[in-house]
Amino acid sequence: MVWNELVTHAWWALAFRWLHVMAGIMWIGHLWYFNFTQTPTMPKIPQELRPGVARYILPEALFWFRWGAMATIVTGLVLAWFQDELLDTIKIGIGEHNAHVTSIGIGMWLGAIMWANVWLVIWPNQKKNMGLVPAPANRRARAARIAGLASRFNTVLSIPMLYGMTSVHFY
């Protein structure tokens, strides 16, 4: 590569790294907001005020939550491709004997599981819970419970995922 191509490649890799970090903050920040702030606080909110949270705050927060997840996974895959590590990280560095690739690969797979949980479990169930998809009261309650459990599962996975993604910078 000539100098200009190296600089251009490095600039794009840096740009996608920052986009990945910012999207991850958006996603995990909302995940932790839901699990450490909104969910435990809802029972303390007077009954007559709760519809305001469900009608105004929840839809907006879920928008940024799910699209933060999408942006995180897309920028992460692009970043791994820019670094010529995409296939190695997908296979978790098996056969590479490279702690960096293995750590990122584990973090990537945990992030992919979490992303799938957002788009395939949490969001479809929250649509029922918020009344965007018609459902009887008993199914809405069940959907809210499933979405909540999936969100808690993602919260638990976020710790080793973040460790896998960041620990590579410590060795």
What residue numbers bound the domain in which 14 lies? Answer: 3-170
pLDDT in tens, 86-134: 999 999 988 888 988 999 999 999 999 999 999 999 999 999 999 999 9
- DSSP letter at 119 equals I
pLDDT in tens, 11-52: 899 999 999 999 999 999 999 999 999 999 999 999 999 888
- Structural domain count of the chain: 1
For the chain, helix, strand, coil in percent to 5 are 85, 0, 15
pTM of the shown model: 0.90
Res 170 pLDDT > 90: no
Contact indicator for 85, 101 with CB cutoff of 8 Å: yes
61 Cβ contact list (under 8 Å, min separation 6):
30, 33, 34, 38
